[in-house]
Amino acid sequence: STGAKLDPAERPKIRWKGGEESSRTLAMAGEAGGGRPRDWLSMDETAAAFLSRSLSTRPPILLPPPLHRAPLRPGNVVEIAGPSGSGKSQLLLMSAVQCILPKEWEGVYFGGLGKAVMYIDLDCRFDVLRLAQILRKRIAACYGSVHPTNENFVTDGSKDKFHSFESTLFSDCMKRFLYVRCYNSSELVAALKSLKSQSEARSEVFGIGVYFLMLDRKTLSFQSITETVVQEIHKFLQLQPILVLVTKAPIYGEGITTSNDFQRGSLKHMSEDSTALRYPKREEERNGSCREYMPSAWQTFVTHRIKLQDLAQEAGFFSEQENEMLSVHTCEWVQPSLNSKEKFYIKDDGVGLIQ
């Protein structure tokens, strides 16, 4: 700090002395570990072994279409954004069914995860009958692929056998679905703080903890407490990696709101959502883009983003299976950007892709 220069003769001594101390430190570390001083620097696994271990401890999660394009892993936070009626809640329900269904049950393959879901409803419009419908349809479809019905389905006892199979499996799956309704921000924070205890309780009773955390929320429903929400979820992710799925309505510029004159999903499964306030649309809203008004704490916390749209202005899709005209939606991966949009529609057993 005084600007004094060291004598050149002194410099080697200083470096030598530091090297001696470093060597002594390494020697002590080696003695403490029972090995050679530099053993900790040696390679203990190959890249292939590391990759295999990583995949086994945190296997990729493949969600149902149209969310199947980017493999996800426990620890990821996925934001699904879109206006009212674009299918956000429907995709959450499809993903929940995929999680609570087993991979296989009594010789029938379902391809599920057999894990628990915690579904936090901030919109107070959760439809348990719709969840049950998707789950029952999936069970029936997979069962029918192994045990096809015939003209003697009623008389030969196959019907009773199927009902017993479905009832048992349906009850087992619903035990893995934990529903929480929050009416305000304080209840949301309380629910997140209890996430660890809820997961431990599920693990003790059913042998599995929470694997998916879903937040179905209204616009700005927790903007004022975003940092607290992020902190609570982050703390749990450090203890137990899970997949987090959050829905969000887009927020436009000042004086602009989304027009809720879209139909909520298909004509059959969703009722029309009427809103008293309707404002003129700007070009940015007509193009389906939106500005990000969530705090930076949330923006940096999210690892994946998906944008949904309801193509109400286009002709519907006629489904032969449903025998009716269904509204069309689009799904686009924004983060990571896949530069593609997929069209889909809502049907009885979930979601169908339009090729």
Task: Tell me, rounded to whole angstroms, the distance of Cα 268 from its chain centroid.
Answer: 26
- Conformation bin of residue 77: beta by default, left when phi > 0, alpha when psi is -120 to 50: beta
Q: What percent of the chain has pLDDT over 70?
A: 66
Tell me, yes or no, whether 311 lies in a domain: no
Q: What is the pLDDT of residue 322?
A: 63
Q: What is the pLDDT of residue 112?
A: 95
CA triplet 225, 199, 190: central angle to 5 degrees? 25
Structure tokens belonging to residue 168: 């048992």
Task: Answer yes or no: is pLDDT of 162 > 60.
Answer: yes
Tell me, yes or no, whether 133 lies in a domain: yes
Containing structural domain, residue 202: 71-146+157-251+300-306
Q: What is the pLDDT of residue 151?
A: 52
Tell me, yes or no, whether 170 lies in a domain: yes
Q: What is the pLDDT of residue 32?
A: 45
Tell me, yes or no, whether 171 lies in a domain: yes
CATH number, residue 137: 3.40.50.300
Separation between Cα atoms, residue 84 and residue 71, nearest integer Å: 26
Q: Is the peptide bond before 74 cis (omega within 30 degrees of 0)?
A: no
Tell me, yes or no, whether 284 lies in a domain: no
Q: What is the pLDDT of residue 114?
A: 94
The answer to whether 341 and 330 have CB atoms below 8 angstroms apart is yes
- Select the more confidently predicted residue: 205 or 128: 128
H, E, C per residue of 77-97: EEEEECCCCCCHHHHHHHHHH
DSSP-derived 3-state class of residue 276: coil
Q: What is the pLDDT of residue 236?
A: 95
Q: What percent of the chain has pLDDT over 90?
A: 43
Tell me, yes or no, whether 319 lies in a domain: no
Number of domains in the chain: 1
**121 confidence band (pLDDT: 50, 70, 90):** very high
Residue 348 burial (C-beta neighbours within 10 Å; 0-12, 13-18, 19+) = middle
- Select the more confidently predicted residue: 313 or 8: 313
pLDDT tens, position by position, 174-186 = 999 999 999 888 9
The answer to whether 116 and 178 have CB atoms below 8 angstroms apart is yes
Tell me, yes or no, whether 317 lies in a domain: no
Task: Answer yes or no: is pLDDT of 13 > 70.
Answer: no
**46 confidence band (pLDDT: 50, 70, 90):** confident
Letter for the amino acid at 253? G
Tell me, yes or no, whether 124 lies in a domain: yes
